Structure 1
Amino acid sequence: MNEKRLFLLDAYALIFRAYYALIKMPRLTQDGFNTSAIFGFVNTLEEVLRKEKPSHIAICFDPAGPTFRSEADASYKAQRESTPEDIKLSVPIIKEIIRAYNIPILEVEGFEADDVIGTMAKRAEKEGFTTYMMTPDKDFGQLVSPTVLQYKPSYRGQDFEIRGEEEVCARYGIERTSQVIDLLALMGDKIDNIPGCPGVGEKTAIKLITEFGSVEQLLENIGSLKGALKKKVEENAEQIRASYFLATIRTDVPVEADPESLVRKPEDTERLFAIFKELEFKTLRDRVSRRLDSARQDVKEVKADSFPSSLFDFDTPGNVPESSPLEIQTAETSGLSWRVVRGKEEAGKLAESLFPVKRCGICFVAEGENDMDCLIKGVAVACSESEAVYVPADDAECMAVVLDTLSRNDILKISAQVKRDYVLASRLRTDEAPAIVNYNDISVAHYLLQPEMRHDVETLSALYLNYSCRPAPVLTAKRGSKTPPAGEEEIAAWATERAVVTMRLEAPLSKEIENEGMLSLLNEVELPLSTVLAEMEIAGVRIDVKALDEAARDLEKRLAEIEKDVYELAGEEFNVGSPAKVGEILFDKLQLDPKAKKTKTGQYSTSEDVLEKVAHKNPIVGKILEYRQLKKLLSTYLTALPAAINPATGKVHTVYNQTVTATGRISSSSPNLQNIPVREDEGRGIRRAFIADDGHLFLSADYSQIELRLVADFANDETMLDAFHNDKDIHSITAAKIYHKSPEDVSADERRHAKTANFGILYGISAFGLASRLGIPRSDAKELIDNYFATFPTIRKYMSDAVEKARENGYVSTAMGRKRRLPDINSKNPVVRGYAERNAVNAPIQGAAADIIKVAMVDIFLKMREKKMKSKMIMQVHDELNFDVVAEELPEMQRIVTEGMENAYSGRVRLTASCGVATNWLDAH
């Protein structure tokens, strides 16, 4: 390997990437300063320095003011939104940190960082360096050569990606990397507002460059093109040339540095420690503190009267903290030992070593996304917090020992994905006994603590253990990649490390769960629920393919009818599925909104929100929205569900996600069952296709208005409580109160308005939003909201009390202790603060509803298991549970399900659950 390795970092690309990666859960200091961009940038830099150990390095910034591109074309990057204030405040601090690392900063007036990187890369190439351009931007592909490589930052736990000539050419189907410029000149670049040739996308651009070799040759041979493409290129020749100019990265910038001067120099560790301490970066602070000379007893501390300021004052003396420095741990430094075990003799030894243990860590390895048909590679078992073994799936004797261990009640199994492990273990068993008992799941625990963060082993080990995990092995070779799948040794090393680290994480997470008062929620609800969800996934649900085909044909007929209606209303035929064409028809031809805004691509925005605002102006809008909805149903369910059927079981095995939603709700994927319309005509055909097994019945149980009932209880509203207690129509009662009339005199429209108010106002709907949803003037919507709060002052009080409680605590919680943290509740930005305030109101409602159905699911499942019933729980969708029921068990099942759901909550309001029975989901619901 070349010893001269120069790393050139694109500063702003990494800063913006870091900032937006944490946009939903920003890092804030105690003073409320957003440090997301700084934290992400520094972590990326630390990772590069630690993993790659560059001999030379520089960080390149865009200058303030215009560049030669913006001076040549005023539209260049003109569409970009202004830089967020938090980033503006962060950049001076980031530069100060870079100086503390003693890394050169390169910035040249009039030239972008891209051009500085391009210039330095070419200079270094001539001087025998191997250069790595660290940036995610695709335009850097044009600079790649045998000794100039693109080093793309890691994403969601994956490793960094290095792109050489072969990878760049394979990605775009080109012969040489310089043709990236030609491609960008034709297809444009939305991010930088490079127009390219309108109507020419990536595929067409590749085809043209493959045929002509370059933009220059293409423009000289326009005559050989045909039809519409010829016209596009001919009419936009000058724009293509201008785009080529804008897309070309300069390599002749007057940078006052040479590659040799960028040699890696010792950092100012004391200064870094002081900065990280002030920024409240505990892990980073501890990481650099270990690099301090142990003989040195003083570091510089920061004492700032106001924070943040554009620069820090680093000259105030201080002392080394009393706590000892924390070293970044790895498998090599933490004393982890592992081995692969096979055969009868090793099985005996494994059984002996596992017999006396009280807890063990587990990690299954499988290739494939769906747990019911993936290829199981093996399982790692940690016998202690420093030792683990890996058992290949094809070794029956050792695997039998593992499966026996998983089913033992006297051993605590610790996993990072126990639901998945349960499903995989069940597939390996030859009986129907529970696959895993007495377990803990660190991901589920952390989900309760921080629902909006990531819960993977890599994140948690860095957060709680200061430990850096091995990158995940490649199990399946990617198309076009020369990286072969990992061998057994590499897989075993990775899996055993995860088993050990998972085991180490259990103690700190359990302690935090206890401190937060969440032990009951974890042990009595969430952990038992993992088994319930796993068994539901294993059971699957049967699909009637013929019913789906029939529904698809009906839907295609309906789509054809809608298209005809749209053509008639538009006065011409056009592609209804094209957002660009829809925008032209609605806003150019029909002039539905003279102020309609265009996107960065120059097209009108035709999103659902935009169209709903003008729906009342012309019936064509409603037709287009209906067309889109039906088209989505056709592609997402009617044509996709048959392909999702497992050929071995004949059923669809959806994946239930327990640690995804911030509210505590369960979601599903592969396929997503939550978005199937409930009772509308378009959803009927889909629901009819979900059927019970032969000779069985389909039982569907659904809560009635659970969220409104909870609101009535939380607000202690007598009118609502009385309506629910006496089984009155809550929406008619609401309308009667608002419009000052008897429930019998309430019109259908008034009831509809009240229903929308009941659900919408609680979730912070504005007068504008309510007006759009109901198709009424904004003044009427405002009056409806005012009347609603005047009629139900207890609801307004509940909402204001919830917000105030959130301001005081920084979170809201349910009766069972589920918390939703709201770091933006005191934000000075009214938009950000408003979002947090709405969550403060609805999170306790959503969270309580989530708790209730989870409690019901666990209770029902345990009773079914206790009675050894053959019926199965097969689906959970929102507030609804579905079962495949053996006919003779029906009366008992109806009793167990109804009691389980209605008794899952004790409060001032009574919950009701209705049960329907048929042979399919539609008729049962």
Structure 2
Amino acid sequence: MSDNLLLLVDGSSYLYRAFHALPDLRSPDGRPTGAIYGMVGMLRKLRTQFPARYAACVFDAKGETFRNQWYADYKAHRPPMPPALAEQIAPIHEVVRLLGWPVLEVPGVEADDVIGTLARLVREQGGRVIVSTGDKDLAQLVSEQVMLINTMSNESLDVEGVKAKFGVPPELIVDYLTLVGDAVDNIPGVDKVGPKTAAKWIQEYGSLEGVIAAADKIKGVAGENLRRALDWLPQGRRLVTVACDCDLSGHIPGWPSLEALALQDVDKPGLLAFYERHGFKTWRRELEQELAQKAGEGAGEGALRGVPPGASADLFGVAAATPAAPSERRYDTVLDFDTLERWIARLKAAPIAALDTETDSLDAMRARLVGISFSVEPGEAAYVPLAHGYAGAPAQLPLDEVLQRLRPWLEDERYPKLGQHVKYDLHVFANHGIRVKGYVHDTMLQSYVLEAHRPHNLDSLAQRHLDRRGITYEDVCGKGAAQIPFAQVDVAKAAHYSCEDSEMALELHRKLWPRIEAEAGLRFVYERIEMPVSALLQRIERHGVLIDAERLQRQSQELGQRILALEAEAHELAGQPFNLGSPKQICEVLFTKLQLPVLKKTPSGTPSTDEEVLEKLAQDYPLPAKILEHRGLSKLKGTYTDKLPQMINPATGRVHTTYAQAVAVTGRLSSNEPNLQNIPIRTPEGRRIREAFVAPPGHFMVSADYSQIELRIMAHISGDANLMRAFTEGLDVHRATAAEIFNVLPQQVTSEQRRYAKVINFGLIYGMSAFGLASNLGIEQKAARDYIDRYFQRYPDVKRYMDETRAQAKERGYVETVFGRRLWLPEINSPNGPRRSAAERAAINAPMQGTAADLIKLSMIAVQEALDAQGMATRMVMQVHDELVFEVPQAELEWVRREVPRIMAGVATLKVPLVAEVGVGANWDEAH
């Protein structure tokens, strides 16, 4: 421990950075804890890395400082502290003291000036100072005895480091900052003079005084701006200079003796209660273990203050959970039938068992088993290796015989089972001819229902809920080019990895299920929607959809010819050949050669050629229109007409998409390989892609689609009388809205007025602003505002719903669907304006999108139950947005046309009718 080292923490800088950098963490009673968590982790890390005897955590005090007296606009534009951060200030001060750090707040003096004064005094006494901060202003304090560190970036700045980073030495940082200014503190510098120019001038003229003396010699706009700022610069210099002569005697008892800032012992009982109260489970457990030992034994204070041995640390030094020692868990490797039979008996006797598969592929339709693991109690699991084929591998039980012995348990729904991402495992067993029944829980879906906005992979869940870090796939198989197939993994390693997965899934279930069970809405979403849909999606994926490969190949050839023609037309319009796939060459042609107006720039300052820019330019110029058409057709060709035929499974002759159930926070499904959600339908060429999704001979494609579902949900949720009347009376809702907004009779509404009303109806439920509406309709912003005002005058309860929903979201951090699904909005109280605004728009729309997602899933379940009850051969082959697509034998067509829309309309009772419309055709496009 260094006897003459003072460790200073710029607490105000760090609490803001912790607040913005960490996710929206919450205590058990729902209070925000992200900034607290970051501060604690950072202080623990610092105390371990720099074993100083003296230290202090310095915060800004409330109220104005002497700089406000010098300059009335000082920090005038800085927004107020976010409420979620303000709520954490008192607990932060409390825990800093519990950790043994002196806390300093000096009224009227900023934290920077307190730090500057302390650094000067310690330096004069021959001591050394380390300042932990992210504030560039404090670089002016650096000397041979004072160093800055930044725990977020792992950056340290000594004298040479300051020179390398800023281009000037520490003694000239004030001059540098005077020229650059400080936008955060509202201190003007020289207009248009940034860090590079400021450093260049100081290097050339020696100092700020030298720059001022040479002002008449400096040419260009920068020189003009410098001359205009000459009267201001002395005041700017005064404001950016850290005061190092503040009177601290009344605020640090015993000062100027360094003993006044001696680090204290950690208040372990107080800290334990604090960790418990704020939900910091890893640190609480670590401290409980230490307190349970006799004095002087165990890990000691070093483990408490620092990162535990073997644990990783994030950028705040927060300790990650360490894996439990293998000796604490009992994992069996099953290599003989006697052991297998004992485990089968345990599986049959268990109230619920976790099941996990290890395979040779991520492709669920083709994956084959390498091993299986089970767990019936946390801490106990077994692994049955089946296909490990490396040199020296132990003899393993024959796969077919193992599956035959397991089949009675696997295929009997009376034996409850759980897993992590059950749908994948269902496919794997199906690849071996086994239809597993009895899956009643899926920890991935439990997490999704509880916290849709967070990761749901097993590693993340174990760390978040169990304080455990398991062995990763990369740990056993390696990474990149050196990665080996799982079948080549040493059986002992594979057993530990797989047993851990099934055993952690079981322990996770015991943590997550009670939370869902206690909330009626969450339980309904999990038990009545997500779990049944998971099993149904596996059936849909397994059946697949028939693709007409020859038709796609013809389309691909036609697209290729049109793409070549577009290239020739574009080259003629440009007056030269260029690569239509190169943004750089497009930029050169459009803005350098043809001198088209620059509408937007990229972050690097070059003119943008994104789709929005090209669409605006295409209204007045032919070349951007050709480029846009070329882009669209090239994407169609590469993504669909060329690729879909290659994705046909040779064993089935069909394409088998994978539906991702736990991705979209609204509850909507997404699909990949191929992505069926994004097939474009706005262009004839895009719609033609759907022609290739066909029914087999003797069958029809049938599409069942909810009509105006989100507007109907808005009417239900808001309870607006006028909006509900439009739906209950079966009116054209866009015509009805136009009649309300334009104050005319419905029969007098023009097609243009109806179009405006349609944009408004859909735009407002997505939180569209007057600016967005004006852009969409091509009208003045004032006119758009007038339309919105008139809309809300006619539909006042829609406005009330929006206002109440925003307020509720800010208070709770989430909104809910009609059925109780929680839609989390982590940025709803963000200090970042654009992020907060986006979250507010999502708060309005998410209940409608989420309820629509719930309804289509309930429809899938109800329709499939009816098909199964009737013994129908009709197959559900796709789910896209608010649409279900079926492959229907001709003999069942009339039943499907009659019953499916009736079932879909009856899955829920809203204040307005649900309406589903059905189309029939030989292919998807005809049916849609």
Same fold? TM cut 0.5:
yes
Contact 1:290 1:327 in 2 (8 A): no
Please name the residue that 2:284 is paired with: 286
1:672, CA displacement in angstroms?
1.3
1:365 to 358, 367, 374: 358
1:420 aligns with 2:424: yes
Please name the residue that 1:435 is paired with: 436
Moved more, 344-353 or 913-922: 344-353
1:710 aligns with 2:713: yes
Identity %, equivalent residues:
33
1:686 aligns with 2:689: yes
* 1:775–1:466 Cα change, 3 Å: same
Secondary structure in 2 matching 1:355: helix
Contact 2:877 2:887 in 1 (8 A): yes
Please name the residue that 2:258 is paired with: none
Q: Partner letter of residue 403 of structure 2?
A: M
Contact 1:725 1:909 in 2 (8 A): yes
1:790 aligns with 2:786: no
Q: Partner letter of residue 881 of structure 1?
A: L
Please name the residue that 1:550 is paired with: 554
Please name the residue that 2:513 is paired with: 510
The separation in 2 between residues aligned to 1:626 and 1:41, in whole angstroms, is 53
Please name the residue that 1:747 is paired with: 750
TM-score when normalising by structure 1: 0.67
Please name the residue that 2:385 is paired with: 392
* 1:275–1:569 Cα change, 3 Å: farther
1:235-246 map, 5 Å: none
Q: Partner letter of residue 398 of structure 1?
A: V
Once the two structures are superposed, residues 702-722 of structure 1 have per-residue CA deviations (whole angstroms, 9 ceiling, x without a partner) of 111111111122222344333
Contact 1:699 1:924 in 2 (8 A): yes
Please name the residue that 2:374 is paired with: 381
The separation in 2 between residues aligned to 1:44 and 1:656, in whole angstroms, is 44
Please name the residue that 2:413 is paired with: 409
1:676, CA displacement in angstroms?
0.8
* 1:424–1:553 Cα change, 3 Å: same
Please name the residue that 1:698 is paired with: 701
The separation in 2 between residues aligned to 1:672 and 1:493, in whole angstroms, is 36
* 1:328–1:348 Cα change, 3 Å: same
Secondary structure in 1 matching 2:761: helix
* 1:490–1:333 Cα change, 3 Å: closer
Please name the residue that 1:830 is paired with: 833
Once the two structures are superposed, residues 773-811 of structure 1 have per-residue CA deviations (whole angstroms, 9 ceiling, x without a partner) of 233333333333223223322321221122233234332
Please name the residue that 2:392 is paired with: none
1:758 aligns with 2:761: yes
Please name the residue that 1:253 is paired with: none
1:456 aligns with 2:457: yes
Once the two structures are superposed, residues 228-264 of structure 1 have per-residue CA deviations (whole angstroms, 9 ceiling, x without a partner) of xxxxxxxxxxxxxxxxxxxxxxxxxxxxxxxxxxxxx
The gaps in structure 1 that reach 5 residues or longer are: 1-13, 58-81, 112-132, 138-191, 194-265, 299-311, 313-325
Once the two structures are superposed, residues 642-684 of structure 1 have per-residue CA deviations (whole angstroms, 9 ceiling, x without a partner) of 2222222221111111111111111111221111123531222
Please name the residue that 1:249 is paired with: none
1:71-150 map, 5 Å: none
Please name the residue that 1:157 is paired with: none
Moved more, 715-724 or 878-887: 715-724
Contact 1:283 1:463 in 2 (8 A): no
Please name the residue that 1:559 is paired with: 563
Contact 2:33 2:278 in 1 (8 A): no
1:769, CA displacement in angstroms?
1.8
* 1:856–1:669 Cα change, 3 Å: same
* 1:414–1:135 Cα change, 3 Å: farther
* 1:592–1:542 Cα change, 3 Å: same
1:276, CA displacement in angstroms?
7.6
The separation in 2 between residues aligned to 1:437 and 1:377, in whole angstroms, is 22
1:18-417 map, 5 Å: 34-35=34-35, 38=38, 270=268, 273=271, 277=275, 280=278, 282-290=280-288, 292-294=290-292, 330-332=323-325, 335-342=328-335, 344-393=337-386, 395-417=399-421
Once the two structures are superposed, residues 83-108 of structure 1 have per-residue CA deviations (whole angstroms, 9 ceiling, x without a partner) of x9999999999x989x989xx97999
1:828, CA displacement in angstroms?
4.5
* 1:428–1:480 Cα change, 3 Å: closer
Q: Partner letter of residue 771 of structure 1?
A: A
Please name the residue that 2:389 is paired with: none
1:866 aligns with 2:869: yes
1:444, CA displacement in angstroms?
0.7
Please name the residue that 1:78 is paired with: none
Q: Partner letter of residue 459 of structure 2?
A: E
Contact 2:371 2:384 in 1 (8 A): yes
* 1:39–1:918 Cα change, 3 Å: farther
1:522 aligns with 2:526: yes
Please name the residue that 1:843 is paired with: 846
* 1:449–1:107 Cα change, 3 Å: closer
Q: Partner letter of residue 420 of structure 1?
A: Y
Q: Partner letter of residue 364 of structure 2?
A: D
* 1:619–1:26 Cα change, 3 Å: farther
The separation in 2 between residues aligned to 1:19 and 1:647, in whole angstroms, is 53
Secondary structure in 2 matching 1:883: strand
* 1:678–1:41 Cα change, 3 Å: farther
1:774 aligns with 2:777: yes
1:456, CA displacement in angstroms?
1.9
The gaps in structure 2 that reach 5 residues or longer are: 1-13, 53-77, 102-128, 137-150, 156-194, 197-263, 297-304, 306-318, 387-397
Contact 1:367 1:376 in 2 (8 A): yes
Q: Partner letter of residue 369 of structure 2?
A: I
The separation in 2 between residues aligned to 1:743 and 1:818, in whole angstroms, is 37
Moved more, 846-855 or 402-411: 402-411
Bigger Cα Rg: 2
* 1:639–1:333 Cα change, 3 Å: same
1:836, CA displacement in angstroms?
2.3
The separation in 2 between residues aligned to 1:710 and 1:835, in whole angstroms, is 21
Secondary structure in 2 matching 1:728: coil
* 1:100–1:395 Cα change, 3 Å: farther
1:856 to 820, 845, 859: 859
* 1:100–1:554 Cα change, 3 Å: farther
The separation in 1 between residues aligned to 2:919 and 2:822, in whole angstroms, is 34
Moved more, 35-44 or 792-801: 35-44
* 1:105–1:514 Cα change, 3 Å: farther
Contact 1:414 1:439 in 2 (8 A): yes
Contact 1:415 1:440 in 2 (8 A): yes
RMSD between superposed Cα atoms in Å: 4.5
The separation in 1 between residues aligned to 2:856 and 2:36, in whole angstroms, is 36
1:573-588 map, 5 Å: 573-588=577-592
The separation in 1 between residues aligned to 2:858 and 2:882, in whole angstroms, is 12
Moved more, 723-732 or 832-841: 723-732
The separation in 1 between residues aligned to 2:135 and 2:512, in whole angstroms, is 51
1:20, CA displacement in angstroms?
8.5
Q: Partner letter of residue 872 of structure 1?
A: R
1:481 aligns with 2:479: no
Contact 1:287 1:328 in 2 (8 A): no
Once the two structures are superposed, residues 342-377 of structure 1 have per-residue CA deviations (whole angstroms, 9 ceiling, x without a partner) of 454444333333232221011112232320022332
Secondary structure in 2 matching 1:35: helix
1:891, CA displacement in angstroms?
2.5
Once the two structures are superposed, residues 388-413 of structure 1 have per-residue CA deviations (whole angstroms, 9 ceiling, x without a partner) of 22233452222233343232222221
Secondary structure in 2 matching 1:840: helix
Please name the residue that 1:897 is paired with: 900
Contact 1:380 1:389 in 2 (8 A): yes
Secondary structure in 2 matching 1:660: coil
The separation in 1 between residues aligned to 2:864 and 2:437, in whole angstroms, is 16
The separation in 1 between residues aligned to 2:596 and 2:666, in whole angstroms, is 38
1:270, CA displacement in angstroms?
4.8
* 1:912–1:21 Cα change, 3 Å: farther
Once the two structures are superposed, residues 827-873 of structure 1 have per-residue CA deviations (whole angstroms, 9 ceiling, x without a partner) of 45433332222122111111110111111111112222233322221
The separation in 2 between residues aligned to 1:884 and 1:714, in whole angstroms, is 34
1:690, CA displacement in angstroms?
1.0
1:534 aligns with 2:564: no
